Structure 1
Amino acid sequence: LKKPSKVAKKAEEDEGEEKEESADADEADAAPAKKAKAAKKASDDEEEEADAAPAAKKNAVGEDEDASADKEDEEEAPATKKKSAAADKDKDEEGGDDEAAEEDKPSKSAVAKASAKEEESGDEEEAASEKVTATKADDDESADAKVDKAETKAGQVAVSKEPPQQSSATESPKVPATAWKSKNQTRDDIDPQGACKRDIKLHCQGISPGEAQLSLCLVFHIKNEKAGNEVATIAVSKKCRAEIRQFRSDMYRDLSMDKAMATACKADITKFCDDDFLYPEPGNIIACLREVKQVEKLQDACLAEVLRHQMEAADDFVMDPQLRELCSGEADRLCKGVEPGEGRVQNCLREHRTKLAWDCQAELFRQEVENADDIRLNVRLFQACLNDQRKFCADVKYGDARVKDCLEDHRLDAEFSPGCKTEFEKMMARRATDFRLDSRLRKYCKADIAEICYPDAEDISDVANYDAKVIQCLQDYRDELKDPKCKAQVHKLTEREIDIRFNKPLADACQADRTTVCKDAPDGQASVFMCLQDHMAQLKEACRNSVFEQLVRMAEDIDFKFPMKKACQSELNKFCKEVPHGHASRIKCLQDRIDDADFGEACRKEVQSDLVRSAQDYRLNYRLHKACLPDIQKQCMHACDAASANGTATCGGMVLKCLQEKKDKLESPSCAKEVESFSLIEAKDPLSFDVPLQTACKPDLIKLCPDVSRDHARTLSCLRTKREKLSTPCREEEMRFSIMEASDIRLTPSLMNACGQELQSLCRDAPPTEGQAFKCLQEHLEDVGMGAACKGEVNLQEARHASNYRLDVRVRTECEEDVTKYCNGVDAGQEGHALVLKCMVGSFKSLSSSCQSEVSYAVRMALFQYHKGAELTQPCDQAVEELCNTGTAASTPVKEINGAVIGVYGQCLVSQKRNRLPEDCRTLVKLVAKEGAYVGGTIDQNKLEETLAKLKELQEAAATTAGGGGMVVRHDTGLVISGWLAAAALAAVVVVSIAIGCAVYYKYFSPTRNYTLVVKSAPGATGV
């Protein structure tokens, strides 16, 4: 690389040459001054005309400029000839330093001439210059409020009264000797006598030509024109604009013409871009500085110059040397009628992306990537959002996409302007197509992309991919990302994707379905996506799968579920304020509090809908998915095969069903906990949350229960009462759910609601699982503290247990092998008729001891909670009617006096002589007696006293009901004893009968045992 002749001249000269140059300069300074005086009179008329022009045109910015253009053409003629001559002279001149010296002289002459003219103009010129400069400074503040340090420096260069001086002691940066030189310009500024002569006099008085100062001044005024500032009341002419555009475009292709950037960036060029092979052209050096700006920190002065260049290039593509070289032809061909400026040509080229040459596409995308971190480099967006930026983000510094993030946070605010919102959402949609357009994602995730998403990153080309592969990779592996800033950025982009416009893969996959299934869903926020997820069954396979993948990503955090987050703000602050984000923790918090009295209805509806949706597939339950993945792979690998074969995106709850059925075999405690949590939710409304049950029983509900409202109590009860009429799939699914329900008392909401207080006071220490809590309630049925509602619900559940052994979790667990061994021939379709329990009673002696104990307990409780017509105790119905139904009135059985009296019938049957009982009933009673309170040759005095007391209460109640006191009445057939006397007599009879019965049984019926019987009974269990 060689140093540019104009920029490096002072650094190359020795002290002697400097003195000689100084002397030559003095002579040169004097000559222009004399010429200026001579020319002053000749130009008086012209100056008066120019001075009068502003006053005449002050309020006529939009007037036709044809007349002015004709005059400018006449003024341009000598300037054009002069420039032509200068160009021919430059073409003929040869030599390195000599050529540089010749090129420098016109610039010095122009500077000296302007200086002399300024001196002669006196205080009037100086005052006018200062006034213009001050006005420009004020307007600069108005047009570009709150700019950062770099932009401020760039603006200062534009309005400086004097050009910045370069120290002769500072060595200029190197620029290649092959630097391209404009054929239209021979100096480092626009021609003061050219097409911009009038505009220079109007807008840039006091600005010395050189170092692009005049062009900067006019660019500044053009900028103010667009902003509508008062200082720019007279528009810069079109011909002048064209000359400025040509000059500045050429300047950025030749760094020697941009002395300000060459000086400010000398150190950075030396440090980063001093390579002849990589950067052979001056335009390449500017490209190098732009690239360095993305990853390194440039010096402040250089950063300001690079930013100035980027802002001009963002406004007009020809200011970018590479873009101008590779896209000018495409612009002429495809965007011929598009006016340059405000990024219009670049936007036009992107709209015709498929018609562009590959190199042009690459350069266009390269500029877009480089400009992504600063809103000022997106001209249309910056202009559309300037007022919103001042309103919402006044204190936010430019750079690192900070202003963009701030505006995005306020995008949905009511005061956000529609124009800014529209333009901003266009930018967001564009950014979603390629991770490189997200400057923070590109910066923070560089290492993670290289390590985790290497295959996808390797496939990306120099042009925009429009497939978001790397973004999807980062989302799919977000738990493995190492950089916290990268995780945060991935979280943010996932949050945006609830709006389909910012989710390129989803938008592409569902383009057709969006216009058919969801044609009425408006754009914006989550409307389209919510419609798609609510109609998944109607979607085409590609769209359905894409929607499902997005739902899986969204399951992690409530931030991704915009409707729920919006509806539940109050509940989140009230119930979940301290709960951290991530791992669906805040979603779980809302689910746990959904039944609270002060839980809002709108939030409850959203949480309920989300629960129904997550029940469709285990992957939509983030916590369960993460906790159970190893167990799923081991225990339920093929549970989803059937659903997959049908082409559905979800598993239809089959994996969740598998996990519930194999809960005891799960290896992960956290998985078991999550399965339990899901089951508790499912139990509240099984026909909504249990997808297999819902699917199997939907036709049965329509057919058998058409008028029943859809809630847990009524619909499920309807199905169970019509069990004989259910279809086989529905009957099987109902039984599966019932078995799961019986295994944990918490899964039976009706029992929990009826017995909540009793469970707290009487069964606090009993675990809810394995039937322990329910057994405790059974054993306290006679307690005074147990309410009638709880007794009724326990009786109802016991009746169901007695009808099917699988609903008795302890019998099912302890007798599994015995059932297979001795009762395998029982028709499974008839198991609701207690056939298996009857089979086990018949094979009682062959059963294992643990199974015997549970079967005996089951039969004892069936008799203890006797229900007429129950399948298991039906053989004893006649005996109960004949021997135990003794009330004061034939129509009022003992059991129904003062409500349900529990245990009386069982005690009555046990106390009867065996030969008075039917054979099948005798078998049941015999089995109960072996395990009950009457085993052995002695009578349990406590139990007897309890029985007598109950009978006494019963008779007192009967007497009260009959309306009589304690008296003896003679009847035609004998004596009728009533009142307390009858109770005493009856008690005596019962005591004697029990004693005799036990003695006879023990002597004649009890088998001879050569072992000691161990009675399995819960603590405090009452006898039958």
Structure 2
Amino acid sequence: MAACGRVQLLLLLLTAQCCFVLLVAGLRPPASVNLHPPLIAINRPLKAGAAPNGGNAGAASSVSQPRRSGGWKLAEEEACREDLSRHCPKHTWNNNLAVLECLQDTKEVNISADCNHVSFLFSPDILVYKCLFNHKFEEAMSEKCRDALTTRQKLIAQDYKVSYSLAKSCKADLRKYRCNLDTNLPRAREARLSYLLLCLESAVHRGRMVSGECQGEMLDYRRMLMEDFSLSPEIVLHCRGEIEAHCSGLHRKGRTLHCLMRVGRGDKGPIDNLCQNALQALIQSADPGADYRIDRALNEACESVIQTACKHIRNGDPITDASSTLSCSETPADLTINCVPHRLDPVLYRKCQNDASRLCHTHGWNETSELMPPGAVFSCLYRHAYRTEEQGRRLTRDCKVEVQRILHQRALDVKLDPELQKRCMTDLGKWCSEKTETGQELECLQDHLEDLVSDCRDVVGNLTELESEDIQIEALLIRACEPVIQSHCHDVADNQIDTGDLMECLVQNKHQKEMNDKCAVGVTHFQLIQMKDFRFSYKFKMACKEDVLKLCPNIKKKVDVVICLSTTVRNDTLQDVKEQRVSLKCRRQLRVEELEMSEDIRLEPELHDSCKKDINRFCSAVSFGNAQVIECLKENKQHLTHTCHQKVFKLQETEMMDPELDYQLMRVCKQMIKRFCAESDAKNMLHCLKQNKNSELMDPKCKQMITKRQITQSTDYRLNPVLRKACKADIPKFCQNILNKASDDNELEGEVISCLKLKYADQRLSTDCEDQIRVILQESALDYRLDPQLQLHCKDEITHLCAEEAAAQEQTGQVEECLKNNLLKLKQEACKKEVLNMLKESKADIFVDPVLHTACALDLKHHCAAITPGRGRQMSCLMEALQDKRVRLQPECKKRLQDRIDMWSYAAKVAPAEGFSDLAVQVMTSPSKNYILFMIVLAICTLFLVGLLCGRITKRVTRELKDR
């Protein structure tokens, strides 16, 4: 037995020699990593009472069992006999540990060098093992030494009491937190290292005090478990196939475990459930999420990031961010994917333990005896994280912040979300096999939402719904949008709890100068995803969900819900109902959604799908933002396909009824609206701008945009809501024949408005309608483009006779004046008729003839100030003044007025009579009226004489036949 004991001593000497060789080779642990607890905790002398118990008996060394039963004693070593006689009581000599403690308590100078060396080698708590463990996988380490170290580590993993320093340092804490095994369990006397670690880690996570010495020892042995998979029998047993197939040759510094983790997340093929469970159990025991230094592979991969991006984080802080360099981000991702989130993340556990107990009924959460399925607690927590006050109990603010942090990390990679990866594996392969960049897979699944299988669609839908409430889950988008957030959205971004405000702010500022392409694309993509389901717009969902259930049941797509609700609001407004069916809070949010949709044609899928061919044909070079494609389609409206033309007409009709939805108008005229129309209602915004169009303070670009909208309105009375309302009785009365041939979705090219203009000249319109037509006449007299019928019928004449006037940038009636002056040169009857109609209209009111009105402004003020405008009264006043030799008119006015009289005379000659009244007027104003009247009387007399002289033509009948 003594020989056996000496063999063990030789083994220790060999081990010491190995360490010496390593130290000579210059091997040292990385400077950034403090792997050892304070030396005072490691080298503290052993106490006398520690030896007799069974725990210490097994802690002498890796071969302590032979020593416990053998006869070899330290007191018998020749090198120490004299020192023992001088310093150690004789009754302790039979107890090796007591002798060792005695020698350690004695100062080194009082002990011989040989005895000091022997006690150093014999001590189970010396730095030699720790030094060797730290350099176990270095190239200078011999295989024999590495095998011996592995054997000792396996013994420690099987029974933590083999490590004397660990057992001694943690003895009080184990007793304090009742980490004693059930003695009824098989092999209960072998205290598994994993059990010790789990029990004490649970105490630390709950905020309990564990001594620094014990935590230092735990750190070393947790790192040991993460470094060598062979120390876990379950891994060796259940993961043998995966290791041989995928991880051969990766046996150093924890690389095998990380390889298995990548297999577990699906990168290299399927993994057996038993292997997966063993892997999770090991990581749970080692708890690398609590301190990055535990995982050597993580520490080495992320060293540069730690020294730069994370230099403000203290050593020992938990892993909370998986975004860094590519090689570094892969490693924490392995940990995140292969572990139950709450077990991995001590910060989450600390912040949420009370919430988990209160809401998820997990008393003793994270204890070793917990049998809840993986992910169940976290799923429960995030279901409660996004509840409203009305929905009941919610998470505390601190816990919700941590839950959101986990979701932010998961959004970077679908593989960080085990549920998503599990249910969407088939769809990922089918639709997203080429999307390999960070964050692309989730975007791809969202793009193909309608094509996914139901289980995957539900998971993606739920995650997208969460993103709508907290867009910071989209970490890549937030990173890209950082400049815009800092400049325009910092107020809402600083809120720890987001409720959709940040995304709304980004949408509103999508065209600011700080906005970059990546951010704009990301924001637009999220808007497009929101169109698939109204639930994906958190603020819209919360404001309108009751209204949707009541008014728009069974409608899912957001665009359809918006149309349904806006139609309801419009109908209630037109019918002047006392109480709107759509609630006030929903109407307010509905307005926000409508304004957002008007910015990009892609946000209106029906319009976009109907006009795809036309967009490719006419607007291929136009970008989608700022409603530029919509504006392009409007400008090419005459050339669009029938279906697209109808959709654009409907869109214009909606915008004219509610100008606030006209994105281009509101954008270009934003400052002018503030200047001229700050007090105007949104419905009357365009009307207000038209009234101030010719102001000297009007911005030229805004004026040009107003003119565009006026041209659009002139094409159809339905695009002019004010005119439509004012003339609702006159239009069917005077223009029914035009209405009969009209279609719902196509313009009438100004025919109804032209009809009303003629009736205005005849003074037959109602007062309200007459006022509106007068405004239209005044506007069209200044700009020929506002008269579609004139443009249509006089296109060639304008090109040949009035090209210079038509090319003028500012239209002031010069084209109309040109056509009037060239009336005799007009060859097309349709064009001549339109010009004659203009003359007829101007005769009815001088205000609709801007050239004449400008020339005669002073004369009107002097001679006709008392005359009420309208119905040709002021025009008659000027004509009387022209004939009165006592009145001297301005030369320009006199000339223009005489020209008009000549034109009216010619018009009266060539204009066809449209009725008996027109015929009578033409006869009475004709120079040959006496001849015409004589011939009419002669014809009547001739007819009378013929009847008188020729008798009756019909045959006489008897009275009886008449009375029958």
Q: TM-score, normalised by structure 2?
A: 0.61
Distance 1:338 1:814, change over 3 A: same
Q: Once the 2 structures are TM-superposed, how far is the Cα of residue 871 of structure 1 from its aligned partner?
A: 10
Distance 1:185 1:175, change over 3 A: closer
Q: Which amino acid aligns with 2:37?
A: T
1:429 aligns with 2:354: no
Q: Which amino acid aligns with 1:364?
A: A
2:489/2:502 contact within 8 Å kept:
yes
Question: 1:79: which partner in 2?
Answer: 4
2:552/2:565 contact within 8 Å kept:
yes
Q: Once the 2 structures are TM-superposed, how far is the Cα of residue 713 of structure 1 from its aligned partner?
A: 5.6
Q: Once the 2 structures are TM-superposed, how far is the Cα of residue 533 of structure 1 from its aligned partner?
A: 4.6
Question: 1:635: which partner in 2?
Answer: 551
What whole-Å deviation, never above 9, does each CA across 1:288-311 have from its counterpart, x for those lacking one? Answer: 445433324233133334444444
Q: Which amino acid aligns with 1:297?
A: R
Distance 1:499 1:947, change over 3 A: farther
Distance 1:461 1:607, change over 3 A: same
* 1:653 match: secondary structure: helix
Q: Once the 2 structures are TM-superposed, how far is the Cα of residue 424 of structure 1 from its aligned partner?
A: 3.0
| Aligned with residue 347 of structure 2, among 440, 458, 461 | 440
1:152 aligns with 2:37: yes
Distance 1:269 1:758, change over 3 A: closer
2:5/2:67 contact within 8 Å kept:
no
1:404 aligns with 2:319: yes
Distance 1:218 1:330, change over 3 A: farther
Q: Once the 2 structures are TM-superposed, how far is the Cα of residue 689 of structure 1 from its aligned partner?
A: 2.5
Question: 1:737: which partner in 2?
Answer: 651
| Aligned with residue 191 of structure 2, among 253, 261, 283 | 283
Q: Once the 2 structures are TM-superposed, how far is the Cα of residue 654 of structure 1 from its aligned partner?
A: 1.6
| Aligned with residue 152 of structure 2, among 225, 235, 244 | 244
1:190/1:214 contact within 8 Å kept:
no
Distance 1:186 1:569, change over 3 A: same
1:264/1:302 contact within 8 Å kept:
yes
Between the two structures, name the one with larger relative contact order (CA 8 Å, sep ≥ 6). 1
- Structure 1 segments unaligned to the other structure (5+ residues): 1-75, 84-109, 119-128, 198-202, 413-417, 641-650, 845-850, 913-937, 957-967, 969-975, 991-1003, 1005-1024
| Aligned with residue 490 of structure 1, among 385, 403, 407 | 403
2:222/2:285 contact within 8 Å kept:
no
Question: Please, what is the CA RMSD of the aligned residues?
Answer: 6.5
Distance 1:852 1:706, change over 3 A: farther
| Aligned with residue 843 of structure 2, among 908, 932, 936 | 908
* 1:152 match: secondary structure: coil
1:754/1:793 contact within 8 Å kept:
yes
Question: 1:73: which partner in 2?
Answer: none
Question: 2:486: which partner in 1?
Answer: 573
Partner Cα distance (1:478, 1:903) in 2: 70
Question: 1:500: which partner in 2?
Answer: 414
What whole-Å deviation, never above 9, does each CA across 1:838-862 have from its counterpart, x for those lacking one? Answer: 99999x9xxxxxx988656554544
Distance 1:668 1:577, change over 3 A: same
Q: Once the 2 structures are TM-superposed, how far is the Cα of residue 347 of structure 1 from its aligned partner?
A: 6.8
* 2:478 match: secondary structure: helix
2:420/2:456 contact within 8 Å kept:
yes
* 2:124 match: secondary structure: helix
| Aligned with residue 295 of structure 1, among 206, 211, 228 | 206
Distance 1:207 1:543, change over 3 A: farther
Q: Once the 2 structures are TM-superposed, how far is the Cα of residue 185 of structure 1 from its aligned partner?
A: 0.7
* 1:570 match: secondary structure: helix
| Aligned with residue 185 of structure 1, among 65, 72, 83 | 65
Question: 1:123: which partner in 2?
Answer: none
| Aligned with residue 682 of structure 1, among 597, 607, 612 | 597
Partner Cα distance (1:528, 1:288) in 2: 39
2:844/2:871 contact within 8 Å kept:
no
Distance 1:950 1:157, change over 3 A: farther
Matches within 5 A, 1:110-509: 142-143=29-30, 145-147=32-34, 151-153=36-38, 156=40, 158=42, 160=43, 163-166=45-48, 185-187=65-67, 206=116, 213-214=123-124, 216-226=126-136, 228=138, 237=145, 240-241=148-149, 244-245=152-153, 248-249=156-157, 251-252=159-160, 258=164, 261-262=167-168, 264-266=170-172, 268-270=174-176, 272-273=178-179, 281=189, 283=191, 286=196, 288-300=199-211, 301-315=213-227, 330=238, 361=278, 364=281, 367-368=284-285, 370-382=287-299, 384-385=301-302, 389=306, 393=310, 396-399=313-316, 402-405=317-320, 408=322, 411-412=324-325, 420-431=328-339, 434-450=341-357, 468=375, 471=378, 474-475=381-382, 477-480=384-387, 481-496=394-409, 497-509=411-423
* 1:237 match: secondary structure: helix
Distance 1:338 1:703, change over 3 A: closer
Partner Cα distance (2:670, 2:147) in 1: 89
Q: Once the 2 structures are TM-superposed, how far is the Cα of residue 377 of structure 1 from its aligned partner?
A: 3.5
Q: Once the 2 structures are TM-superposed, how far is the Cα of residue 488 of structure 1 from its aligned partner?
A: 2.0
Q: Once the 2 structures are TM-superposed, how far is the Cα of residue 907 of structure 1 from its aligned partner?
A: 5.8
Partner Cα distance (1:393, 1:452) in 2: 34
Q: Which amino acid aligns with 1:678?
A: E
Question: 1:583: which partner in 2?
Answer: 499
Partner Cα distance (1:348, 1:273) in 2: 33
Q: Once the 2 structures are TM-superposed, how far is the Cα of residue 423 of structure 1 from its aligned partner?
A: 2.7
Distance 1:830 1:443, change over 3 A: closer
Question: 1:721: which partner in 2?
Answer: 638
| Aligned with residue 560 of structure 2, among 629, 648, 654 | 654
Q: TM-score, normalised by structure 1?
A: 0.58
Distance 1:706 1:403, change over 3 A: closer
2:711/2:786 contact within 8 Å kept:
yes
Q: Once the 2 structures are TM-superposed, how far is the Cα of residue 269 of structure 1 from its aligned partner?
A: 0.5
* 1:833 match: secondary structure: coil
Q: Once the 2 structures are TM-superposed, how far is the Cα of residue 222 of structure 1 from its aligned partner?
A: 1.6
* 1:522 match: secondary structure: coil
Q: Once the 2 structures are TM-superposed, how far is the Cα of residue 693 of structure 1 from its aligned partner?
A: 1.4
Q: Percent identity?
A: 15
* 1:765 match: secondary structure: coil
Question: 2:85: which partner in 1?
Answer: none
Q: Once the 2 structures are TM-superposed, how far is the Cα of residue 204 of structure 1 from its aligned partner?
A: 12
1:499/1:526 contact within 8 Å kept:
yes
Partner Cα distance (1:462, 1:819) in 2: 84
Q: Once the 2 structures are TM-superposed, how far is the Cα of residue 661 of structure 1 from its aligned partner?
A: 2.8
| Aligned with residue 467 of structure 2, among 550, 554, 578 | 554
- How many equivalent residue pairs? 761
Q: Once the 2 structures are TM-superposed, how far is the Cα of residue 742 of structure 1 from its aligned partner?
A: 1.5
1:672 aligns with 2:587: yes
Distance 1:192 1:743, change over 3 A: farther
Distance 1:476 1:834, change over 3 A: farther
1:747 aligns with 2:655: no
Deviates further, 731-740 or 821-830 = 821-830
Q: Which amino acid aligns with 1:165?
A: K
Partner Cα distance (1:684, 1:427) in 2: 43
- Structure 2 segments unaligned to the other structure (5+ residues): 78-112, 265-269, 388-393, 571-579, 760-764, 795-812, 848-863, 904-916, 918-964
2:407/2:473 contact within 8 Å kept:
yes
What whole-Å deviation, never above 9, does each CA across 1:921-964 have from its counterpart, x for those lacking one? Answer: xxxxxxxxxxxxxxxxx996474899979999xx99xxxxxxxx
Q: Once the 2 structures are TM-superposed, how far is the Cα of residue 219 of structure 1 from its aligned partner?
A: 1.9
1:864/1:906 contact within 8 Å kept:
no
What whole-Å deviation, never above 9, does each CA across 1:495-516 have from its counterpart, x for those lacking one? Answer: 2213233233333444345445
Q: Once the 2 structures are TM-superposed, how far is the Cα of residue 741 of structure 1 from its aligned partner?
A: 1.0
